[in-house]
Structure 1
Amino acid sequence: MSEQWAAARIKQKGDNKCIPWKNLRDLILAHPNTKKKVDVFALSVYGLVVFPKALGYVDEAVIDLFDRLDKRVTPVPTILAETCRSLNESQRAEEKWIAVLQNLQEEDIKWRAP
């Protein structure tokens, strides 16, 4: 995919610039080169599963990472940084729930049959 193709499809989702999955899917289905199809599919899975930022969108940073891979730049620091960020975010969310659950009183809970 070219920079022009990506630039024309980038959308702002919260704090991130992303490309909708449906645009990547259309590119995969229409591209004549099988190797390129596989590359774009790998990029899509990587972006949707490993670095999920917005549901149904692939972050622009993931596309940059794949561009660097093509130039033989190691992705290890990026993957480690993103993993640490993700784990830190999960830990904060878990701490919020722990605080909520620890402060529950009997009157806060309503029991009922399913």
Structure 2
Amino acid sequence: LDKKVTPVPAILAETFRSLNACRRADKGRFIGCTQLLLAWFHSHFWKVEKVSYRVFSEDYSPLKELVATSRRDDISEEKWIAILQNLQDEDIEWRAPWMLPNEILYRCGNFDWVPLLGI
């Protein structure tokens, strides 16, 4: 991938499609990258007061930063349910502070989705 094209929106779209399919079928397995979904949750559901200047560096990696930070393992399933059921518009950071507006990857050839081999 070109450095200026991010696959994250395509990955998230496929993740949510998979979650929705599991819910509709009321059974089945989640087919997606749970780690990426967790990274997205942490970058969008907890507002960031200050954006570090590092996010504008070409070698900045939000996933590496997420791996280096302490995990929030203290959140139980019930707490996640309460958080998600009570979300308000102002609780969500609609664009991750590290995601600079630019081109995004949303299709591959004639397909309106992007195959993600190895994930």
Q: TM-score, normalised by structure 2?
A: 0.23
Larger-gyration structure (1/2): 1
Larger helix proportion of the pair: 1
Larger strand proportion of the pair: 1
